[in-house]
Amino acid sequence: MNIRRRTALVYGAAACLKAPALAAAEGGWPSRPVRIVAGGAASVTDIRTRWLAERLSAALGQPVVVENNAAAGGNVGAAEVARAAPDGYTLLAWHQGIAAIRRGWRERHEGQPGFDALARQPEQAAQFHRAMNELTRRVAADVLDAVDLSAARGVVDVGGGSGELLAALLVAQPSARGVLFDQQHGVAHGPERMRRGGVEARCEFVAGSFFDAVPAGGDVYLLKSVLHNWDDARCIALLGRCREAMASDARLLVIERVMAAEPSPSPADRDAARSDLNMLANLSGRERTLDEYRALLHATGLRLATVAPTHGPMSVIEARAQVD
């Protein structure tokens, strides 16, 4: 494990323990039941889970319940999360950590890489996209303020889910048209979101895999919170599909956290470390430094042009075609 991962482990663990306490102090953590679902029978992992529960309980000032799911055999699936009490929170304990890191929890547990399993889990897919919409809603205004899109005419949102960011962009830029591109379980909810924003007439919905091809014809391409889901090889593959679709003067906007090359104990770096570990354990993905993003872009015929920080945790990395 390299120094960055070791640092991430320390800061990520600290963030998991401190964040609820800080949120509670600020009135941002509702007083609702919290449970941690632990797969399998009592074990060393279960002991660690209970250790975490004790500290979370002390931080929150309320009970934290640990449940064992022996039938899960050490794996707790998305269906278990969906069955959580609607008025509470469910936290998935990490289990079989080395196996999860090697293959990603989703691929190891569900037998399919990335988000493919959501295609046969409509309820979980809807829940997932609602959560992603909420996360995007919190940062959309900051992202759009950070970059000038006044000249955009055709915007392709690659892996855009049900279109929360694209809808906000189309509202802000009345002259632009959009293409929402994702797997069917994502774009299926796109028309409803565009109708709410009054921009459905200016948006096209295309279902597919960005590992196969990306819609051509856009002058701006968006990739928000996509690359951190994947390892380097798959990032290079999907960036390659984007480059193939892009005209020579098109722009690719990669919207992600940018990790510090040497993380500090700052809240922002702790949050980035926690996210880094979460992506590693769940999807074999990772958060990346600016140099790491530059290397991925270079490998696919793109160059890093500018980086625009936002007021929140995300940065907008603008990439363009390499000049021969």
- The set of catalytic residues is 228
> How far apart, in whole angstroms, are the C-alpha atoms of residue 144 and residue 119?
30
CA angle 90, 81, 287 (to 5 degrees): 80
Around Cβ 44, how many Cβ atoms within 10 Å?
7
> How far apart, in whole angstroms, are the C-alpha atoms of residue 49 and residue 137?
32
Sign (positive/negative) of CA torsion 87, 84, 283, 100? positive
Pairing of strands 288-289, 258-259: parallel
Scan for tokens 């990772």, then name that residue.
Answer: 286
Angle separating helix axes 164-172 and 190-197, nearest 10 degrees = 30
Helices (H), the chain: 3-25, 44-60, 78-82, 97-103, 105-110, 122-146, 164-172, 184-187, 190-197, 232-245, 267-283, 290-298
